[in-house]
């Protein structure tokens, strides 16, 4: 995957994204993840790869300060149209190269983004960098199995799935290994599709 292709594919996805990824099990998973999370009054929260804004519906927008970024202009416009009356700052930006200063946010949300970017490690590095010390990182995404290789079937279809703008073979453990000295694991919970999709919460040292 590369940014040029992502720009094209998510321009195509934008009109239909919510039909696939904000209904049924995806809707239930998002609702569970964000309703359970203890956002604090006045916290500065960054949504990395906010997409069409699906996660925002389950967050206490009245008590947090939200900045939402996405690489796709079309996806971001969808989110803006949904929340035009809310106090949310929407910015078109590459998650691999955030323009915010170090230690800017109390909470950083990365929902279905690590698996769609060209470099998950770059995104993770940027997420950790802009999170305040003691801040929390929420990750909701699809990952490869923890303790075994991808099945033969998934290995076969992985290149095809990549053409649709996502990668089913990313190992969270390999990505996280490089950042263990900067943040620690608070929660790692299977949320859907027999553990393919996980809720992960990290806290920055």
Phi, psi of 97 (to 5 degrees): -150, 70
24, two tokens: 């049924």
Q: What is the pLDDT of residues 69-120, one digit of tens each?
A: 999 999 899 999 999 877 899 999 999 999 999 999 999 999 999 998 999 9
Domain ranges of the chain: 3-204
Which of the listed CATH numbers 3.90.470.20, 3.30.9.10, 3.40.50.150, 2.40.160.20 matches domain 3-204? 3.40.50.150
pLDDT score for 168: 67
pLDDT score for 39: 96
Q: How do strand 131-142 and strand 105-111 relate by DSSP bridges?
A: parallel
Q: What is the pLDDT of residues 142-198, one digit of tens each?
A: 998 887 777 777 777 676 667 666 776 789 999 999 999 999 999 999 987 777 899
Q: Which residue in 185, 48, 57 sits closest to 130, CA to CA?
A: 48
C-alpha to C-alpha distance for 20 and 2, rounded to whole angstroms: 23
pLDDT score for 154: 74
């Amino acid at each position: 995957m590369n940014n040029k292709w992502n720009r094209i594919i998510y321009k195509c996805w934008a009109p239909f994204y919510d039909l696939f990824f904000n209904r049924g099990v995806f809707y239930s998973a998002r609702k569970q993840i964000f309703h359970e999370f203890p956002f604090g009054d006045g916290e500065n929260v960054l949504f990395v790869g906010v997409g069409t804004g699906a996660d925002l519906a389950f967050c206490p927008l009245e008590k947090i300060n939200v900045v939402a970024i996405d690489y796709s202009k079309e996806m971001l416009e969808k989110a803006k149209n949904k929340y035009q009356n809310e106090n949310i700052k929407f910015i078109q930006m590459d998650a691999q190269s955030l323009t915010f200063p170090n230690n800017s946010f109390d909470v950083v949300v990365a929902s279905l983004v690590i698996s769609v970017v060209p470099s998950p490690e770059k995104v993770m590095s940027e997420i950790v960098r802009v999170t305040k010390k003691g801040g929390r990182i929420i990750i909701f995404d699809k990952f490869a199995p923890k303790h075994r290789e991808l099945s033969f079937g998934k290995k076969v279809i992985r290149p095809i799935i990549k053409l649709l703008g996502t990668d089913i073979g990313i190992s969270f453990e390999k990505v996280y290994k490089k950042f263990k000295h900067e943040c620690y694991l608070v929660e790692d919970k299977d949320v859907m599709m027999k553990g393919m999709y996980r809720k992960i919460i990290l806290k920055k040292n």
